[in-house]
Amino acid sequence: MKGPDTRDAPASQNFPALLLHHAANQGDRTAIREKDLGIWQSWTWEQVADEVRALACGLAAQGFRRGMNLAIIGDNRPRLYWSFAAAQCLGGVPVPMYQDAVAQEMLYVLDNAEIQYAVVEDQEQVDKLLELLPKYPNLKHIFYDDPRGLRHYTQPQLMPYDRLRELGVEYNRDHPGFFDGAVGTVQPDDVCVMLYTSGTTSKPKGVCLTHAALIAAARGDVAFDGFGPSDEILSYLPMAWVGDHLFSYAQALVAGFTVNCPESSETAMNDLREIGPTYYFAPPRIFENLLTTVMIRMEDASRIKRGLFHYFMAIARRCGAELMDGKPVPLSDRMLYRLGDLLIYAPLRNSLGMSRLRVAYTGGAAIGPDLYRFYRSIGINLKQLYGQTETAAYVCKQPNGEAKLDTVGKPMPGVEVRITGKGEIWVKTPSMLKEYYKRSDASAESISPDGYFMTGDAGFFDKDGHLKIIDRANDVGKLANGALFAPQFIENKLKFYSYVKEAVCFGDRREMVCAFINIDLQAVGNWAEKRNLAYSGYLDLTRRTEVYELILACIEQVNADLARESELASSQVRRFLILHKELDADDDELTRTRKVRRGFVAEKYAPLIDALFSGKTGCHIATEVKFEDGRRGTIEADIKIQDVMASEPGREAA
Amino acid sequence: MADAIKAGGVLLAVENIALAFGGVRALSDVTFEVREGEIRAIIGPNGAGKSSMLNVINGVYHPQQGTVRFRGEIRRSMDPHFAASHGIARTFQNIALFKGMSVLDNIMTGRNLKMHAGLLEQAFYIGRNRREELAHRAKVEEIIDFLQIEHIRKTPVGRLPYGLQKRVELARALAAEPALLLLDEPMAGMNVEEKQDMCRFILDVNDEFSTTIVLIEHDMGVVMDICDRIVVLDYGRKIGDGTPDEIRSNKGVIDAYLGLSH
């Protein structure tokens, strides 16, 4: 059903106003859904506006005032999204936090943001906050949504969401003009959300974004991709991440489309199939997991099905992406593609939950060429984008028909991108951060005098005007012989193989490049089972000679690739080892958005690095690990180190 | 950590139960009671008669002597239908689920005795059945949410790993909204993680629904940790009855487990 055209919701300069606009103009359309107790429960825009009013009044009744920060912690839930709006209505700032953060990490943010009020999802989050109370007694109010397990809790700070809502309804009745008055005082320049960066190299910083900034970004995105009220998205990525806030909150309020919250993270892929979103974002690793699952199941299918699959996938590889881009394709291939669509591609899209997808985006990390081509060739319009928390994830996007593999697209309208002499990418845009919270030093460090944000990424524009990212500027180094060493570039190539889950390369100011490898349990486990290799778990798998040979083959291929470019020929990987445990955010080795903390990892595994570069064939290591409940343990292992043959540096590829 | 003995009336009392199969004396003169709201364990070496005891409580076996008193009402011989419709539910050691049916459907079968619509109404989804079906489904979904098995609700049970099948067994027993839940070795065959999860669920069931629980278990760690009181059987006789601390130091029990004849 096509609703009223709200694409140019006029004069709505802040999010509460946008919400009220939709409640008035398309009050009957579904604004948000949540799968609960097995069925999709939905709320219309009018209902959402009422809920936000009740919640805002409830918070006001409890003493929440303009300028205060509201912590929001949990999975994607309607009530938590409404908390963002409620805080904004009162002129406060919502501060979402990662739901899988351990208590220690949360302490930093609570303290830094001076949180007195928090809206959380369930007992798990309540427990973590209560644990921190002795160290941070300033937390006065904890409102929780799911009461399971909390019946016997007597702490005075706790209050169920339902009670808060009741108080809000009463307050609204007793102060009829209050809510509208409060919304009326919200300015476009007010900070509308504070998102903490994950901090690969240092403590997290609170990025303050204004209503105007996020609305500008959302408006730009909505115009670029033509989003409208009939679009549907699945909201399953952490609310503390700028991407989810942009898609599920900002864009949803600008375009008026429907947000769907899955039942739980385990059911997210299943819920994706049930909803059939029209617009989808996922980091490359999710697209990869989906593909791996499909391929694994395909290997178990009957011979005929496998045969059909491989035959038609070859056709898709040949011309699928070109067809989608509107490029010329011979008639015979066109007919075969049509047939393939009927037999293979459409059912495949259906089982991935992508039948109704108009556009899909990925970003945040590099995506493998095979993976990218796979999705595009079966008719999924997968494109890349680029941005960071400080720029509201709004810098570059690939236009339709220009979805090149190794670029992140062209600068969006209103965005200026400059490449400095050193090759660093600087960005100026109305969607920029206002400042880092209470960190004028960091603000001065990262924002140039003429208003450009220094992204810290190294990149360049190609001949079509697309931006290409090389690596983090600080990580780009030089080998001992002066050759360029861009670790992420090599690591991405390694990670394109489904067997490699994570890779960390070392080589700055060294004679050669060496690598840590994390194997992917699902892919390698499956590979082992197909060869009747019994294994008793992750650690066992990492020790096997056969697995080392498997990874060796992948690395040799990457080396052959690197050898083709003269500047990269010397950064071929010469030695590697397979880590005995996966790098984990709980152990501070990765950020909450799964980026490797290079410095920390280098320190923690220093003995292994020494062994790699001193020619040893093995090394014993004992690593400390942190369990999810905060307890610590140690894992010890003898790790084998393997040499790799380098390929001969060849002529530059055409 | 076992709580202090919960104050509650006697829910179930078995008195002087004697059960024999031909010449084999499975149970001899066993007497104990179960208080409302507690978690009671029946432990003992293999062949002690634990499963037989559970079967007597729920009416599968009829004792030659003795009585079972449930909620004050004496039954000379309990029968399974009476037991089930009056609030006793149980799980089985070897999983007795319908392997071809989905998890959701299996749990729905646990609502069977609460379904009052007729055959025709159920077949054509009319009348009473329509109203009931929704209520039943809601209850089943609550249990699915409680035991965190949403992600497998449509999966055929036969395809699930053992630990999850046991959880579905538990879910089906809970679907009957029992006052007394009999668990026959709920942790058998589970690894440490699965056992921890199952312990957590059992404690939650006891806490949130106030369900009285009687369980047979071999893992002493589990028993000592979560149970309020324990009955110890050996060769069909009761040789111990008390709190975990009392049982731990009971010489007769220790001897029995070590195989010393007494």
Residues A368 and A460 placed together within one structural domain of the fold: yes
Residue A250 lies in a domain: yes
* Mean of pLDDT over chain B: 88
| Backbone angle region of A415, left / alpha / beta, with phi > 0 → left and psi within -120 to 50 → alpha | beta
Please give the C-alpha separations between residue A547 and each of A46, A500, A519, A553, B211, in angstroms, as whole numbers.
57, 11, 9, 10, 50
Taking CB atoms and an 8 Å cutoff, what residues of chain A touch B108?
A: none
Nearest-CA distance B145 → chain A (Å): 7
Q: Please indicate whether, in this complex, the C-beta atoms of A266 and B138 are within 8 angstroms of each other.
A: no
Give residues 71 to 100 of B whose Cβ lies within 8 Å of A.
Answer: none
CA distance A518 to chain B (A): 24
- Residue A346 counted as domain residue: yes
Q: Give me the mean pLDDT over the B204-220 stretch.
A: 91
CATH at residue A484: 3.30.300.30
Q: Compute the count of residue pairs across chains A and B with CB atoms less than 8 Å apart.
A: 26
Render pLDDT for A475-491 as a digit per residue (tens, 0 to 9).
Answer: 888 888 888 888 988 99
Tokens at B256, concatenated: 């029995």
Which residue of chain A comes nearest to B153, CA vs CA? A38
* Residues A463, A484 within the same domain: no
A462, part of any domain: yes
Q: In A185-330, where does DSSP find H-type helix?
A: 211-225, 242-244, 252-255, 268-275, 284-299, 303-325
A259, A276, A308 — which closes off a domain?
Answer: A259
Structure tokens at B193: 């993680």
Task: Measure CB to CB from residue A37 to each of B141, B204, B208 and give the nearest one.
Answer: B141
Structure tokens at A61: 């009744």
B173-210 pLDDT, tens per residue?
999 999 999 999 999 888 888 899 999 999 999 988 89
Pick the closest to residue B143 from B56, B224, B211 (CA basis).
B211
Is the reported ipTM for this assembly greater than 0.95? no
* Threshold 0.90, pTM exceeds: no
Spatial distance between the Cα atoms of A286 and A147, rounded to a whole number of angstroms: 31
pLDDT confidence of residue A190: 95
> Most B CBs within 10 Å: which of A36, A37, A75, as the mutation test of the B interface?
A37
Residue A11 inside a domain? The answer is no
How many Cβ atoms sit within 10 Å of the Cβ of residue A326? Answer: 9
Chain A residues with beta carbon closer than 8 angstroms to that of B145: 37
Which of left, alpha, beta for A37 (phi over 0: left; psi -120 to 50: alpha)?
left
3-state SS of A484-528? EECHHHHHHHHHCCCCEEEEEEECCCCCCEEEEEEECHHHHHHHH
Looking at the domain assignment, is residue A566 inside a domain? yes
The pLDDT confidence band at residue B248, using thresholds 50, 70 and 90, is: confident
Nearest CA in chain B to A268: B151
Q: Where are the domains of chain B?
A: 1-87+178-262, 100-176
Which residue, among B103, B107, B151, would best test binding to A if mutated, counting the most A CBs under 10 Å from its CB?
Answer: B151
Tell me: do A108 and A225 sit in the same domain.
yes
Q: Is residue A268 part of a domain?
A: no
Residues A542 and A614 in one domain: yes
- The tally of domains found in chain A comes to 3
Answer yes or no: are the C-beta atoms of B42 and B233 closer than 8 Å. yes
Question: Cα(first)–Cα(last) distance of chain A, in Å?
Answer: 51
- Report which DSSP code applies to B228: S
Instruction: With respect to residue A222, please indicate whether it lies within any of the assigned structural domains.
Output: yes
Low-confidence ranges of chain A (pLDDT < 70): 1-11, 199-201, 628, 650-654
Q: In this predicted structure, what is the pLDDT of residue A492? A: 87
Q: What CATH number corresponds to the domain at position A134?
A: 3.40.50.12780
User: Contact at 8 Å (CB) between A371 and A221?
Assistant: no
Q: What is the pLDDT of residue A577?
A: 94
User: Across the interface, which of A39, A149, A267 has its CB nearest the CB of B151?
Assistant: A267
Q: What is the pLDDT of residues A578-593, one digit of tens each?
A: 999 999 888 889 887 7
Q: Do A38 and B137 touch (CB under 8 A)?
A: yes
User: Which pLDDT band, with edges at 50, 70 and 90, does B1 fall under?
Assistant: very low
* For B155, nearest residue in chain A (alpha carbons): A270
Is residue A421, in this structure, part of any structural domain at all? yes
Q: Are residues A142 and A26 in the same domain?
A: yes
Distance from CA of B94 to the nearest CA of A (A): 26
- pLDDT above 60 (res B4): no
- Based on the domain organization, do A461 and A502 belong to the same domain? no
> How far is residue A556's CA from residue A643's CA, in Å, rounded to a whole number?
10
CA distances from B119 to A434, A627, B128 (A): 68, 53, 11
Domain B1-87+178-262: which CATH number of 3.40.50.720, 3.40.190.10, 3.40.50.300, 3.90.1150.10: 3.40.50.300
Domain membership of residue A622 as a residue range: 477-643
- A490 & A623 share domain: yes
Residue contact A38–B153, C-beta within 8 A: yes
Q: Cβ of B3 under 8 Å from any chain A Cβ?
A: no
Instruction: Note whether A209 and A191 are within 8 A (CB).
Output: yes
A37·B204 Cβ contact <8 A: no
Task: Please answer whether residues A399 and A407 qualify as being in contact, where contact means their C-beta atoms are separated by less than 8 angstroms.
Answer: no
**One-letter amino acid of B125:** Y
Q: Which of B145, B146, B151 is the closest to A270 by Cβ?
A: B151
pLDDT of B34 > 90? The answer is: yes
Residues A229 and A313 grouped into a single domain: no
- Using CB atoms, which residue from B142, B204, B208 is nearest to A37? B142
